[in-house]
Amino acid sequence: MELDNLCVNTIRMLSADGVERANSGHPGMPMGAAAMAYVLWTRFLRHNPTNPKWPDRDRFILSPGHGSMLLYTLLHLTGYDLTLDDLKNFRQWKSKTPGHPEYGLTPGVETTTGPLGQGFAAGIGMAISERYLAARFNKPEHVLVDHYIYGIASDGDLMEGVSHEAASLAGHLGLGKVIYLYDDNHISIEGSTDIAFTENRLARFKAYGWHVQKVDDGNDLNAIEKTIGEAQKKIGKPSFIAVRTHIGYGSPTKQDTSAAHGAPLGPEEIQRTRKNLGWPADSAFFIPDEACDQFRKAKEKGEKLEQKWLETLSDYEKAYPEQAKEWHRFVNRNLPEGWDSDIPVFPPDSKGSATRISSGNILNAIAPKIPSLIGGSADLAPSTKTLIDGEDDFQSTHFEGRNLRFGVREHAMGAIMNGMAIHGGLIPYGATFLVFSDYMRPAIRLAALSGLQVIYVFTHDSIGLGEDGPTHQPIEHLAALRAIPNLTVIRPCDANETVHAWRLALNNNKGPVALALTRQNVPTLDREIFGAADGLYRGAYILSDDNADNPDLILIASGSEVQIAIEAAQKIREEGAAIRVVSMPSWELFDQQPKAYRQQILPEEIKARVAIEAGSSQGWHRYVGSRGRVIALESQPPGMNGFVGITGSDDR
């Protein structure tokens, strides 16, 4: 026990020292949660610090990302590629230890956390991936996938609505590989949680269908170990363990107060804390040799665990060579050869079909060849056309199903897809109406920030959806999504552009892609007359052109408004003008093109330009210029129906 206490206090003091040196951060959470983190990381967590990407490692999520010094301290102590100097550079520019953990920046950080509740929900997505991959690949004598999703959650995580949504779904699905430790310290930024958070959290999670336990003393290592062991035995239920901790544990004047939450302890208080914990005075970033040796056992243990798994994989490759090849495709995110060979080419059709329907046909043409593609909708599959025909639902009794029933839980759906993508092995997609992308925005932003391959299928993309009225008719939503860096938004104009939108989304592993699709029919253009649909890959391309060198007017449109631009061009041509029509399905893709191509499509010398889109005009002016015009929707009167209200953004 003496060594254990020494190790726990090492975590506490390193975390406090990092915050103190940065003069910024949150020391209280790491100090209070140090004991349960120590038990989890030294007695349960199966990981290999030498190879943070070992596929069958356990995952650990620090959902309250503000307590990041706890995670960085554990990573350094157990031997990850994170030095003591990195800890000293906490919260500094270009450091590997930012204020909140960032996926892809720091070795061992499994997901970006900070916006509370996001890590909690992402862990549920990781567990879905684990169960699907286990069901698909494991054999009785060769188990490739068998790991836990551990996490620490805070009061703030449980207050955020996304955790409610995710916990409800996890309980329904019986995701027994989820074990979350709740840092029940009773303190938030404004003071005691009694001022705003008084429900029975244990009863809440029990009602969700979770296995619930409680540890009264957050420093009782044996009790913590016992509850985690019990949680592992509950195969068919996720586990929630409420651990009564004390924020800022060891600080003589700030323990159990909000003063320990979001500010350094201060020079005098940190000295008093060292004395209180029996720590050497004036010993910032001190690591006792005995504690270091204890933590570093994780390296040898982890290497042995991975080596044993590699032997299992080798045996699997010999016994099941074809499935082994598929396993490697999944893990390496490679698409199988010929995956897109069955995608239809849609013939010209003046009536056409809604791009959501075309999308559904495309999805079902590619899904049989890409078994790593798995997803669903927020209870809108009949409308979004996102069910995979012939596949079962993913349920507690059938983890091989590829149709995910997220329920009416858009926010959790977004965060869960992030976890699925981060886990590795799967390409997740999720669908809802475009107007409800607002519910998903925090998760979409994190997907973009983390560079995750997530596909959003947003249907009913304009007021063209009709009778549902203004509550369901998106106006500002395309502009809002386009404002998110590293999110590629694609609004195809017809079935064949939708084909290429899906192709791009499945080949793009650098960030998320949002498809904005119509409810109403749009014509399928005759590509013998109009520009080839694969121009979509360049974001914008010429559909028709009367004078390639010097058109009198350029009409630019996206999605369902492309047909309006085509019809308008025909009428204007009757007056003798030379018109160029440009389909611009994706601003982001167009902006990535060389300047010469962008100049070819939108020559600087052609000032007469009109952009048409049934949404906000925000952002379009960069393409039409100061003398151009945007025909868009700037307001939406109550009861507006059809395209009444589309107006120019100015009088020019």
Catalytic residue numbers, as ranges: 410
Alpha carbon distance 149, 158 (integer Å): 17
3-state secondary structure 602-638: CCCCCCCEEEECCCCCCCCHHHHCCCCEEEECCCCCC
**Residues 81, 82, 88, CA angle at the centre, nearest 5°?**
165
Amino acid found at 325: K
Order across the sheet with 455-459: list the strands.
403-405, 373-377, 427-433, 455-459, 513-516, 488-490
- On whether the CB atoms of residues 122 and 415 are closer than 8 A, the answer is yes
Closest CA to 72 of 29, 125, 118: 29
Q: What is the dihedral of CA 314, 175, 184, 104, to 10 degrees?
A: 50
Note whether 461 and 518 are within 8 A (CB).
yes
Cα–Cα distance, 603 to 588 (Å, whole number): 18
- Write out the DSSP string of 51-105: -TT-TTPPEEEESSGGGHHHHHHHHHHHT-S--HHHHHTTT-TT-SS-SS--TTT
Any idea what DSSP says for residue 519? S
As a whole number of angstroms, the distance between CA 193 and CA 535 comes to 55
Helix/strand/coil (H/E/C) assignment for every residue in 421-462 = HHHCCCEEEEEEEHHHHHHHHHHHHHHHHHCCCCEEEEECCC
**Residues composing the chain:** 652
Secondary structure class of 413 (helix, strand, coil): helix
Q: CA-to-CA distance for 178 and 552, rounded, in angstroms?
A: 62
Burial class (CB within 10 angstroms; exposed 0-12, middle 13-18, buried 19+) of 331: middle
Phi, then psi, of 560 in degrees rounded to 5: -65, -15
Of 606, 612, 650, give the one whose Cα is nearest residue 632.
612
The rounded distance, in Å, linking the Cα atoms of 224 and 311 is 33
Start-end of H helices in 333-484: 355-366, 381-384, 410-423, 437-450, 477-482
Report the relative pairing of strands 239-244 and 579-583 from DSSP bridges.
Answer: unpaired
DSSP per residue over 263-318, as a string?
A: S---HHHHHHHHHHTTPPTT-TT---HHHHHHHHHHHHHHHHHHHHHHHHHHHHHH
Backbone angles phi, psi at 192, to 5 degrees: -65, 140
Structural tokens at position 458: 């947003």
DSSP 374: E
The answer to whether 586 touches 489, Cβ cutoff 8 Å, is: yes
The encoded tokens of residue 172 equal 């329904």
Find, among 29, 20, 251, the residue nearest to 156 by Cα.
Answer: 29
